[in-house]
Amino acid sequence: MPFIEDVLTYKSLSIVGLEKNTGKTETLNYILGRLKNMDKRIALTSIGIDGESRDIVTDTPKPEIRIHQGMIFISTEKHYLQRRITSEILDVSNIHTSLGRLVIARAVTSDKVLLSGPADTQNLRNLIASMAKYHIDLTIVDGSLSRLSLASPAITEGMILTTGAAYSPNLPVLVRKTKFIHDLINLPEVEPELKQKLDCIDSGIIAIDNDNNLHDLNIPSVFMLKKVKDQVFKYGNRLFVAGATSNYLFEFLRMQKNVNAIELVVKDFSKIFASPNVYYSFIKKGGKVRVINRTKLAAVCINPISPQGYNLNSNELKAAMQEALQIPVYDVKKI
CATH code for the domain in which residue 75 is found: 3.40.50
- Examine the domain organization and report whether 176 and 249 are in the same domain: no
**How many other C-beta atoms lie within 10 A of the C-beta of residue 221?**
10
- Examine the domain organization and report whether 177 and 125 are in the same domain: yes
Q: What's the angle, vertex CA 236, arms to CA 293 and CA 247, rounded to 5?
A: 60
Q: What local confidence, expressed as pLDDT, does residue 97 receive?
A: 86
- Examine the domain organization and report whether 229 and 276 are in the same domain: yes
Confidence (pTM)? 0.91
- Examine the domain organization and report whether 301 and 216 are in the same domain: no
Amino acid identity of 245? Answer: T
Please give the backbone phi and psi of residue 93, each rounded to the nearest 5 degrees, phi first.
-70, 155
- Examine the domain organization and report whether 73 and 175 are in the same domain: yes
159/299 Cα distance (integer angstroms):
7
CA-closest candidate to residue 283, choices 271, 272, 270: 272
**Domain ranges, residue 240:** 192-291
- Examine the domain organization and report whether 159 and 228 are in the same domain: no
- pLDDT tens for 309-325 read 889 999 999 999 999 99
Q: What local confidence, expressed as pLDDT, does residue 228 receive?
A: 86
250/137 Cα distance (integer angstroms):
40
- DSSP label at residue 45: E
123/125 Cα distance (integer angstroms):
5
- Examine the domain organization and report whether 200 and 97 are in the same domain: no
19/308 Cα distance (integer angstroms):
13
61/25 Cα distance (integer angstroms):
12
111/86 Cα distance (integer angstroms):
8
- pLDDT tens for 11-69 read 999 999 999 889 999 999 999 999 998 999 999 998 866 545 455 555 555 678 999 99
- Examine the domain organization and report whether 155 and 270 are in the same domain: no
- Examine the domain organization and report whether 86 and 199 are in the same domain: no
DSSP output for 226-270:
GGGHHHHTTT-SEEEE-S-B-HHHHHHHHTSTTGGG-EEEES-GG
- Examine the domain organization and report whether 256 and 321 are in the same domain: no
- Examine the domain organization and report whether 143 and 177 are in the same domain: yes
- Examine the domain organization and report whether 211 and 164 are in the same domain: no
Low-confidence ranges of the chain (pLDDT < 50): 51, 53
Indicate the number of domains in the chain.
Answer: 2
Contacts of 16 by beta carbon, 8 Å cutoff, 6+ apart:
24, 143, 146, 147, 148, 150, 151, 159, 160, 161, 162
Q: What local confidence, expressed as pLDDT, does residue 54 receive?
A: 53
